[in-house]
Structure 1
Amino acid sequence: MSIDPGTRPLTEAVPFPLQGKRVLLLNWRDRTHPLAGGAEVYTWNIGERLVAGGSEVTVFTARHAGSARTGLDRGMRVVRGGGTFGVYLAAAWFLLRHRRRFDAVVDFQNGIPFFAPLFAGRRRAVVVVVHHVHTEQFALHFSPLFSRIGQFLEGPASRRVYGRRPVVAVSPSTRRDVRRRLKLRGPIHVVPNGTAARPTVPAGARSPFPHVVVVSRLVSHKRFDLLLEAVPDLLATHPDLRVDIAGDGPDRAALQARAAELGLDDVVTFHGFVSAEQREQLLAAGWVTAAPSQAEGWGLTVVEANAAGVPAVAFDVPGLRDSVVHGRTGWIVPTGTPLAAGLDHALRELADPRTAGSMADRCRTWAGSFSWETSAERLAGVVAGEIDARRSRSRREASDLSVRVEADLRGFSGDVDALLTRLPQVLRRSDEWVVDGHTLQVLLHGCDQAVASEVMDRLGLALCSRMRLATSSDLLTGAR
């Protein structure tokens, strides 16, 4: 059989995993909320693509000033109720009344989960999505008493309520923290953020002078005060430095005041909320972006900058150590090292046009590894697998191992078309596969190499395949 490289044949014959299913998404805020951030970008992009795949999607979220109680957004029915904390009780009541309307519930945990299993019933599929562990952020934003309550709800209470139900983490760092710190017991799948279409960058748009560009929500855990405090030191070696900060948030006024205190009004420009076109123009001019966060689930703004060819400087913290590939798409600065030192090194490297061009190419390639379509399909596979498991009352081992298999189809003695037809029947819903030329790439989740060998033997591929444990990169980019 002749197969074009990079294609996945029989796509038309393999339906979207949640086609025809009714799915409820529980998320703290909606994308129109004044404080909406990366979690809302994730929920809405995934939901929109579930709709495109044939799912009937309802989103329940908090109601904010000026928002309607119900509405339609990108093909999804949006229901709002409760406020910042009241949303949890409102969602519980909504689920108790309407749970029979849904085949599955996706519970997006933003520090405090919705505890959907308590209200969805034992037979209904529930998958919890965790962006990052909030232990330190509870202490940053709340009093000691409320911080301890938050940590209890995120950890011991979640562990008891969710039991062995599947968990989706947006990065390997989050997966590690969910297992080690929260000690959740269910299988954990990595489904990263996607990226928007690659921006169009006009030729010659890069600034002729050192230029740091940040496009982000301005909140305390992003620690952009560290960027401002690094600027005076950077000006000593890069006197033409310019810093553009685009985005809004509760910390904007304090950051502007701090910039004025440091005498940076002529160096740092705060743009506030910008349009997509303005964002592309700012990123096109940038040399580097900075991500001095305390921790992230992934690092969406970093990869969005990468899509424009802009590398990043970030601290070695959860999420960012996954989204920044040190030396290839940016630089990871050891915790405790001044941010100014990392940015100074980056700016010196990027002063060479050839180095800057090579890194820009690598950044775009890395960002191109992620798409919302792929992420939605991967999450849908996890949910569909849980629907099947609930119906059959079967459970799986919560193994954190995944195995990558490469099978040379030229060594397969059977009918390749028949093999590719059998794959969806043999593999789990959450497993991934793609054909690249004469090579079948398979990513098997929740199993070790012994189990993977049994799967390949069932497919008749044991003699023409090789396998290894999946790396963090494999978990992020999938079988493609």
Structure 2
Amino acid sequence: MTMTALDRLARTDLAFLNWRDPGHPEAGGAEAYCWEIARRFVAAGAHVTLVSSRYPGSRAREYRDGIRVVRGGGTFGVYAAAAAHLLRHRHAYDAVVDFQNGIPFFSPLFTPRWTADICVIHHVHQHQFDTRFDWPMNAVGRVLEKQVSRRVYRGRPVVVVSPSTREGTRRELGFGNPIHIVPNGRPLPERAAPTGQRSRTPALTVVSRLVPQKRVDLILRAVPALLARWPELRVDLCGDGPEGASLRKLAAGLGIGSAVVFHGYVSEERRQELFHRAWLTVVPSVAEGWGLAVIEANSVGTPALAFDVPGLRDAIRTGVNGWLLDREADLAAGVASALDALSAPEARSLAAARCRAWAAAFSWDASAERLAQVVLEDLQRIHRHRRSRRSASDLSVITRFTAADPDSTERAVRTALRQTDAWQRDGDSFRVLLHGCDEVRALSALRRLAVTDADIVLASGHDVLLGAAEADERPPSGRGPGRRP
């Protein structure tokens, strides 16, 4: 039986540093990402400690799903608490996975040089600090995320959740580090099983934290125009946050109280039920690292509509699992066009099949394995005391070849390639996704495998998201609306 990277992390000690844990009242997609991967590390035999902030009603220490949870400090005090924890347990961890939610924990400052420190970035916050803080705190946030982070994490591996976040990390933050893409997963199949019936009349389900950058107010402002055309329209809004009261007041002022239901926080099962009832989900955010709500909706066959912004342009493929609007487009007109495209039951069924096919390409198991590969590769780099032969590059290639001695070639693939490279064997045929190299460097890698005849093509962003095994098994492209639905 093939040993995976997760298997090889058995009995290692890891610290996950995240602003919040899943029980936090304001937990969101970043917390789901951290927790789902941590659970799988533990299931594979690793020892994981999650350090996060403490909130009213929470305990300072507890075990959940085999994960040791250590809480300390509040919204900002958690950074000092995490630093103190790492200093107290300086020799306890083989690796630290530092989840940067705007500001990282700067773990390399508090760990010895033989500890692997991996920084995970969901999305770049440079333009969002102004929506949360006044001067000078917004300026301090930008400096910490950019100049200070770039210096502290220099040369260390960085994990991002999408090609958009990788681009932002390069362009806005100026990171020259090796950057690996580890996408979000999707709900487990049994949790995504459809419940109830799809609504016979137009219905929208929106799942979001109620904070300024999510721009949920744009949906409410679009509802009056939509009601004029579809008086039976229903909007289910799930989530809570500091803007909850003002959004309810806005809905009352617009006279749409009978069409919009504010559910507040709901369970995962209830969320999936509401997604399955809807014709469409709408995500009007300024930007996202990925768009977890898109994949959650897709998993039960519901397409998504969003603006063409970072993260969401990766999660949505126009005409396949939803539609993208130009940034300045009118949201009401975009939603109306999408509902028109979904007006026939046959169109909704076809859209549902495409959505499920796209969502099926992602899983938390695959995400955990990919992050484990990054951790394992950095542990090996530290123990070898030498750098990789490949310099940091965002290019990747897909190569296909037929081996005369496939068993021997497979042994060479396992030993000569990096942990983060992905490959698949089908009989004597191999498909390999090589990260961080162009066609010339790919030829050098293939020579180490004794392969002299291979097809080599540059991989697209979607190829990297899906991995080598799925690169040729993409969801149907479908025929449908163009950029504007």
TM-score normalized by the length of structure 1? 0.94
- For structure 1, the 5+ residue unaligned runs are 1-9
Aligned partner of 1:34: which letter? P
Q: 1:262 aligns with which of 238, 250, 254?
A: 254
Q: Matched residues in 2 for 1:71 and 1:39: separation?
A: 20
Whether the 8 Å CA contact 1:23–1:104 is kept in 2: the answer is yes
Q: Matched residues in 1 for 2:425 and 2:223: separation?
A: 48
> How big is the shift at 1:269?
0.9
- The equivalent residue for 1:227 is 219
Aligned partner of 1:11: which letter? T
Residue 189 of structure 2 corresponds to residue 200 of structure 1: no
Q: Secondary structure at the match of 1:134?
A: coil
Residue 451 of structure 2 corresponds to residue 466 of structure 1: no
Aligned partner of 1:211: which letter? A
Q: 1:406 aligns with which of 400, 409, 425?
A: 400
Whether the 8 Å CA contact 1:401–1:448 is kept in 2: the answer is yes
Residue 208 of structure 2 corresponds to residue 216 of structure 1: yes
Q: Secondary structure at the match of 1:120?
A: coil
Q: 1:421 aligns with which of 404, 408, 411?
A: 411
- The equivalent residue for 1:147 is 138
- The equivalent residue for 1:365 is 357
Distance 1:172 1:51, change over 3 A: same
Q: 1:30 aligns with which of 21, 27, 40?
A: 21
Whether the 8 Å CA contact 1:292–1:315 is kept in 2: the answer is yes
Residue 79 of structure 2 corresponds to residue 85 of structure 1: no
Q: Secondary structure at the match of 2:256?
A: coil
- The equivalent residue for 2:439 is 449
> How big is the shift at 1:12?
4.7
Aligned partner of 2:386: which letter? S
CA deviation string 1:441-461 (max 9, x = no partner): 211111111121122222233
> How big is the shift at 1:239?
2.4
Residue 323 of structure 2 corresponds to residue 334 of structure 1: no
Q: 1:475 aligns with which of 453, 458, 464?
A: 464
Distance 1:358 1:13, change over 3 A: closer
Aligned partner of 1:237: which letter? R
Q: Matched residues in 2 for 1:12 and 1:380: separation?
A: 12
> How big is the shift at 1:14?
7.0
Q: Secondary structure at the match of 1:192?
A: coil
Residue 292 of structure 2 corresponds to residue 300 of structure 1: yes
> How big is the shift at 1:87?
0.9
Aligned partner of 1:456: which letter? L
CA deviation string 1:310-339 (max 9, x = no partner): 001100111101001112110100001111
> How big is the shift at 1:389?
1.1
CA deviation string 1:263-295 (max 9, x = no partner): 001111111222233222211211000000011
1:65-76 to 2 correspondence within 5 Å? 65-76=56-67
> How big is the shift at 1:388?
1.1
Q: Matched residues in 2 for 1:279 and 1:440: separation?
A: 40
Q: Secondary structure at the match of 1:383?
A: helix
- The equivalent residue for 2:473 is none
Distance 1:25 1:421, change over 3 A: same
- The equivalent residue for 1:6 is none
TM-score normalized by the length of structure 2? 0.93
Aligned partner of 2:443: which letter? S
- The equivalent residue for 1:248 is 240
CA deviation string 1:385-415 (max 9, x = no partner): 111111222223111111112223xxx211x
Aligned partner of 1:400: which letter? D
Q: Matched residues in 2 for 1:13 and 1:121: separation?
A: 27
Q: Matched residues in 2 for 1:276 and 1:13: separation?
A: 29
Q: Matched residues in 2 for 1:13 and 1:245: separation?
A: 40
- The equivalent residue for 1:432 is 422
Q: Once the two structures are aligned, what percentage of the paired residues are identical?
A: 49
Q: Secondary structure at the match of 2:433?
A: strand
Aligned partner of 1:89: which letter? A
Aligned partner of 1:282: which letter? L
CA deviation string 1:149-181 (max 9, x = no partner): 000000000111111111000110000000110
Whether the 8 Å CA contact 1:16–1:377 is kept in 2: the answer is no
Q: Secondary structure at the match of 1:298?
A: coil
Q: Matched residues in 1 for 2:325 and 2:427: separation?
A: 39
Aligned partner of 1:351: which letter? S
- The equivalent residue for 2:341 is 349
Runs of 4 or more, structure 1, over 6 Å off, are none
Whether the 8 Å CA contact 1:14–1:424 is kept in 2: the answer is no
Aligned residues between the structures: 465
Aligned partner of 1:401: which letter? L
Q: Matched residues in 1 for 2:36 and 2:100: separation?
A: 16
Aligned partner of 2:456: which letter? M
Aligned partner of 1:345: which letter? S
Q: Matched residues in 1 for 2:436 and 2:324: separation?
A: 30
Distance 1:289 1:15, change over 3 A: closer
1:97-176 to 2 correspondence within 5 Å? 97-176=88-167
Whether the 8 Å CA contact 2:5–2:373 is kept in 1: the answer is no
> How big is the shift at 1:202?
4.6
Give the stretch that moved more between structures: 52-61 or 312-321. 52-61
> How big is the shift at 1:126?
0.5
CA deviation string 1:58-98 (max 9, x = no partner): 11111111111111111111111111111111111111121
- For structure 2, the 5+ residue unaligned runs are 470-485
> How big is the shift at 1:141?
0.7
> How big is the shift at 1:438?
5.3
Whether the 8 Å CA contact 2:439–2:457 is kept in 1: the answer is yes
Q: Matched residues in 1 for 2:341 and 2:327: separation?
A: 21
Whether the 8 Å CA contact 1:17–1:377 is kept in 2: the answer is no
Q: Matched residues in 1 for 2:161 and 2:97: separation?
A: 14
Aligned partner of 1:190: which letter? I
Whether the 8 Å CA contact 1:50–1:57 is kept in 2: the answer is yes
- The equivalent residue for 1:279 is 271
Q: 2:231 aligns with which of 239, 242, 266?
A: 239
> How big is the shift at 1:140?
0.5
Aligned partner of 1:72: which letter? Y
Whether the 8 Å CA contact 1:17–1:381 is kept in 2: the answer is no
Q: Which has the higher contact order (CA 8 A, sep 6+)?
A: 1
Whether the 8 Å CA contact 1:287–1:311 is kept in 2: the answer is yes
